[in-house]
């Protein structure tokens, strides 16, 4: 009998035959990245509870267990389970949850290990939803008992599933922080009233098939495959944050185009409150990138970009005044403000001063890019409670310290009066402690600049990169939110790097970095 089946075949052919024969069906689901004694015991016990045992495996595309996972590909994991005598059918689950499998199998019993029996302790929030779905289809939950083994721990240690620098870092980190700490600050973040202020950008991606160089020119000849549009800029940041807290408001000035308004509302209105001021004079910002894709490795290379951004966004007086009034009102109501200054004209001098004066807790990100000609320097601000920037932005702010990032970071921290983060791409990130933790008041009067504040270095947590666009925004969102919830800088650095790693494996801002995946990623890294 062929054990490996697809969902449609099982639903339409196999299941009706089994039910007609009076067979009871049990379902077990997991990643099964490394089948170990704990899995064997679990599956054998599950088989004893029903006539037929179906095992579903999460497809690699949907595994969110950290860098380098899954260790084994889909085919290998299916084959290992197929070889087990106690398993009757094996199928691939193409989704982040087992919902598609539950609906196809309609099991009499959905069986998990005893460590999942306490729904209140589930960091993902999925167990309750899965139970409710199973019950709607006439089944019920059941649990096995026995020794609990961790595939993740075995892969991280025995199979070197993590890079050496990550293992070394985590060996020290786990002595200082636990999953309970991560969950504690996530719970505090849930209660925060968050305001996101910044440019809403439509990221348009057009995928091309490059044929080669043009015969009579130096440019590329390419064929167009398809295009997609994603919500970027401050909208992407607000989406990341809305996964951690339900009380998120996005404020911006956008164009008055009807089709753009529909795009914005469809993508955002169900996740957050929208406080848009509409301008009839300037269109919503569009950044159109043309890319080629390596399908085998799921890597993307940008060919060129065309940006629909006026040189100077000088909004009409009535629009600017309406935006300022709304901003003043929301600043009073909000616990934390994420200021996303992309340098496109939204944040003028008046808005800048208002935010710096009225924000109860200000998380600052001031970006330099080609469209603002590298002139949008973070030092134009003189106050924040946390900040993020990348290496190029730090060098533009402190060109005299180009060879010493830590010195530049310390100077910026002193200038803004707070701690924050420097994202360093494949090198990870630096976090510098908050001002309240400093050993001296004035960094420039300190005898030894390197004794003034602690800087925490955290390695990159990703082994693969699909697209770097949006990774920094994901870091900024989650690190900043943890800081606003009172988390130590080192923990914020850790959580921000996780979000950045997840963001680097999402094309553009096609998806938000979701809380459940961030927490699962953290659990993987802590399991060494």
pTM for the full predicted model: 0.76
CA-based torsion, 312, 315, 321, 324: positive or negative: negative
Residue 304 in domain:
no
Residue 287 in domain:
no
User: One digit per residue, pLDDT tens: the chain, 528 residues?
Assistant: 689 998 999 999 999 999 999 999 999 999 898 788 888 889 999 999 999 999 999 998 888 766 667 878 889 899 999 999 999 999 999 888 888 899 999 999 999 988 777 766 666 667 788 888 889 989 999 988 876 655 555 555 544 457 788 888 988 999 999 999 999 999 999 999 999 999 998 888 888 887 666 666 666 667 777 788 888 899 999 999 999 998 999 999 988 887 777 767 776 877 899 999 988 877 888 888 888 876 555 667 777 777 777 665 677 889 999 999 999 999 999 999 999 999 888 899 999 999 999 999 999 999 887 776 668 899 999 999 999 999 999 999 998 777 789 999 999 999 999 999 999 998 999 999 865 444 444 544 444 444 556 899 999 988 777 778 889 999 999 999 999 999 999 999 999 999 999 888 888 788 889 898 899 889 888 876
Residue 82 in domain:
yes
Structure tokens given for 292: 């080629």
495 shares a domain with 417 = yes
- Expressed as residue numbers, the domain containing 263 is 183-200+234-281+311-526
**Chain mean position to CA 116:** 25
User: Which residue, 299, 293, 306, 288, is CA-closest to 227?
Assistant: 288
142 shares a domain with 242 = no
For the chain, what is the domain count? Answer: 2
139 shares a domain with 240 = no
* Residue located via tokens 């991560």: 182
Residue 30 in domain:
yes
**Chain mean position to CA 285:** 23
Structure tokens given for 322: 């309406």
* Residue located via tokens 């199973």: 134
H helices present in 296-425, as ranges: 317-333, 349-358, 391-397, 405-416
251 shares a domain with 146 = no
* Residue located via tokens 């927490």: 519
- Strand ranges in 258-370 using DSSP code E only, listed in sequence order: 273-279, 285-294, 299-308, 336-341, 362-366
Distance CA 70, CA 35 (A): 12
149 shares a domain with 54 = yes
Is the Cβ–Cβ distance between 46 and 29 less than 8 Å? no
246 shares a domain with 101 = no
Is the Cβ–Cβ distance between 327 and 251 less than 8 Å? yes
190 shares a domain with 130 = no
CB proximity list for 411: less than 8 A, separation 6 or greater: 398, 401, 443
347 shares a domain with 481 = yes
* Residue located via tokens 């779905």: 133
507 shares a domain with 360 = yes
194 shares a domain with 81 = no
Distance CA 456, CA 430 (A): 6
377 shares a domain with 336 = yes
336-423-173-119 Cα dihedral, nearest 10 degrees:
50
Residue 206 in domain:
no
Distance CA 505, CA 273 (A): 27
Distance CA 226, CA 393 (A): 33
């Amino acid at each position: 009998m062929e054990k490996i089946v697809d969902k449609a075949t099982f639903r339409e052919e196999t299941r009706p035959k089994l039910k007609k024969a009076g067979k009871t069906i049990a379902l077990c689901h997991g990643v099964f990245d490394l089948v170990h004694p704990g899995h064997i015991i679990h599956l054998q016990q599950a088989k004893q509870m029903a006539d037929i045992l179906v095992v579903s495996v999460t497809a690699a595309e949907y595994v969110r267990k950290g860098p380098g996972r899954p260790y084994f590909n889909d085919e290998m994991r299916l084959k290992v389970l197929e070889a087990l005598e106690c398993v009757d059918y094996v199928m691939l689950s193409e989704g982040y949850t087992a919902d598609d499998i539950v609906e196809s199998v309609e099991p009499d019993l959905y069986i998990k290990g005893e460590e999942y029996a306490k729904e209140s302790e589930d960091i993902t929030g999925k167990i309750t939803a899965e139970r409710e779905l199973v019950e709607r289809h006439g089944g019920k939950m059941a649990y096995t008992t026995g020794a609990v083994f961790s595939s993740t721990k075995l892969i991280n240690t025995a199979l070197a599933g993590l890079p050496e620098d990550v293992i070394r870092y985590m060996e020290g980190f786990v002595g200082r922080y636990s999953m309970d700490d991560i969950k504690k600050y996530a719970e505090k973040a849930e209660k925060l009233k968050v305001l996101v202020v910044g440019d809403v950008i439509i990221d348009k991606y057009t995928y091309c098939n490059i044929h080669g160089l043009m015969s009579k020119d130096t440019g590329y000849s390419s064929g167009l495959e398809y295009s997609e549009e994603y919500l970027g800029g401050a909208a992407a940041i607000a989406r990341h944050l809305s996964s951690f807290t339900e009380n998120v408001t996005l404020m911006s000035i956008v164009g008055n185009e009807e089709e753009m308004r529909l795009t914005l509302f469809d993508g955002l209105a169900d996740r957050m409150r929208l406080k848009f001021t509409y301008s009839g004079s300037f269109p919503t910002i569009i950044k159109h990138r043309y890319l080629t894709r390596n399908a085998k490795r799921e890597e993307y290379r940008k060919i060129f970009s065309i940006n629909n951004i006026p040189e100077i966004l000088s909004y009409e007086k009535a629009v600017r005044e309406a935006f300022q009034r709304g901003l003043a009102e929301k600043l009073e109501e909000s616990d934390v403000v994420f200021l996303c200054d992309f340098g496109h004209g939204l944040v003028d001098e008046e808005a800048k001063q208002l935010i710096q004066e009225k924000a109860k807790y200000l998380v600052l990100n001031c970006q330099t890019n080609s469209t603002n000609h590298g002139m949008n320097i973070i030092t134009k601000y003189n106050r924040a409670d946390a900040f993020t920037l990348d290496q190029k932005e730090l060098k533009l702010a402190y060109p005299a310290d180009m060879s010493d990032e830590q010195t530049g970071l310390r100077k910026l921290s002193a200038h803004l009066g707070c701690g924050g983060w420097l994202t360093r791409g494949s090198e990870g990130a630096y976090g510098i402690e908050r001002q309240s933790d400093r050993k001296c008041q004035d960094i420039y009067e300190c005898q030894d600049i390197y004794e003034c504040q602690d800087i925490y270095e955290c390695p990159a947590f990703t082994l693969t990169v699909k697209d770097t666009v949006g990774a920094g925004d994901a870091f900024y969102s989650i690190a900043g939110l943890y800081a606003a919830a009172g988390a130590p800088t080192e923990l914020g650095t850790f959580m921000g790097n996780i979000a950045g790693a997840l963001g680097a494996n999402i094309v553009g801002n096609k998806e938000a970095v979701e809380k459940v995946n961030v927490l699962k990623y953290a659990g993987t890294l802590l399991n060494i």
